[in-house]
Amino acid sequence: MESVNIFTGKQICIIGTGGFAREVYCCLEDIFKYKGVSFDNKVVFSDVDSCENDVVVMGQKRIPIIRESDLDVYQYVLFVAIGDSMLRRKVVEKYPDDVQYATIIHPTAVISDYATIGEGSIVTANCVVTCNINIGKQCHLNLNTTIGHDCEIGDYFTTAPGVHISGICNIGDRVYFGTNACVKQGINICDDVIVGMGSVVVKDIKESGIAYGNPCKIVSNVKFMGGETDSVIIGAGTYGEVYLSYLKEIGINVIAFMDNNPKLYGTYIKGIPVVGSEELLETQEWKDKVANVFCPIGNNPLRRKILGKVRSLGYRTPCFIHQDSIISDNVDISEDAVYILPDSVVMPYVIIEKDCMVSMNSKIAHHSVLKEGCFVSTGVNFGANIFADYNSYMGIGSLIMTGVKKLGKDCLIGAGSVVIRDVEDDAVVVGNPAKVLKYKS
């Protein structure tokens, strides 16, 4: 299964100098010892020109690092030891198609004769790959990974240690499994998914993004790999601080807050700078820095306006769905800027359009619709078969009874109100039962 013979001829060049690259070095050393072949001067490393070191230290050994600009890829057999699947692909794609890649199989790995493993891949110590399995190119199987029978696995696939994938699974390109993740038999997972450590996958994952938990589910459609988690939060208030905490939990790298309050510029929120207003996103500097924009502000028209603008500038506006929310099957949630916080429940056949926010411990009953820009505050109980029009705002602890048919555009339901009849456009209603207090226009 080796794409080239690593025991004779050219030196092996490990691309990357991080922890995994050093583990690859150890794996190669084990292979050469097992074969009884000299390992002296067999391996070099390569890294970007900005790398500060000239050697990689392995115990008493000092292995040279070749700068990227000085690397003649045709003089070596290459192995790309970069754990991030997207970055790994970018490195491979910048090299000519006819360069040679090593496929590395540790002596303690158990590989069926009826399995195929693509070029440039590595199977590390104590992994098990059983029968009728096809694994794509440039894949990394880390320590103690097991893959059951009849699996089809795409290119640039990566597992951390202790991953277990049962039989008859189909897994797409650039999928990453965190440590001790498990996959039930017969599961399908699409391209560009990261499965968090310890997750248990019992249902198909049909959309790209970040998924974790037991049972595992998508919590954000951020593209996790290749530096594409770099994000900003618009709104530097306490709600923005809450979202910073949640986004950090799932590995999203927030690099800045933006806000239209000049008094906040130059301050920090939990170590993250407030750099200016969202107008900065119009500059090329920020287009080069940032992939994703989150805008968890409670003003519905303003949130929609900002999110629409940043999408027009080419930024992504991903969803965030907390793992402790309960989202039923057969729920239609937009891929753009839907935020659902912990302990909320969304029942079957609900439609939630883009730029909506559902706060903690709220419940949305079956067959209801939230149009663009709706805000559901903490503890709201939203009945069945109700249509909430654009920018509807439901205050804390409000109850919208089943039997209500429509909440009008830009309406506001006061905190603790009990709504038993339809609400008109622009109406502000309060009380139990809720009555019109005024109209916004």
**Number of C-beta neighbours around residue 387 at 10 A:** 17
Q: What distance in Å separates the CA atoms of residue 209 and residue 192, rounded to the nearest whole number?
A: 7
Q: What distance in Å separates the CA atoms of residue 108 and residue 120, rounded to the nearest whole number?
A: 19
The one-letter amino acid at 21: A
Q: What distance in Å separates the CA atoms of residue 286 and residue 279, rounded to the nearest whole number?
A: 10
Phi, psi angle pair for 242, to nearest 5°: -60, -45
Active site residue 366: no
Closest CA to 14 of 44, 49, 56, 37: 44
> For the sheet containing 254-258, what is the strand order?
268-269, 272-276, 254-258, 231-234, 292-294
Catalytic member of 106, 149, 164, 366: 149
**Number of C-beta neighbours around residue 138 at 10 A:** 25
Q: What distance in Å separates the CA atoms of residue 60 and residue 43, rounded to the nearest whole number?
A: 15
- Tokens 């805000």 — which residue? 375
DSSP designation for 60: T
Residues near 196 by beta carbon (within 8 Å), at least 6 away in sequence:
178, 181, 210, 211, 212, 213, 216, 250
Q: What distance in Å separates the CA atoms of residue 319 and residue 230, rounded to the nearest whole number?
A: 15
Phi, psi angle pair for 439, to nearest 5°: -115, 140
Exposure letters 392-427 (e unless 16+ CB within 10 A, then b):
bbbbbbbbbbeebebbbbbbbbbeebbbeeebebeb
At CB < 8 A and 24+ separation, what contacts does 176-179 make?
176/85, 176/224, 176/225, 178/212
Active site residues: 149
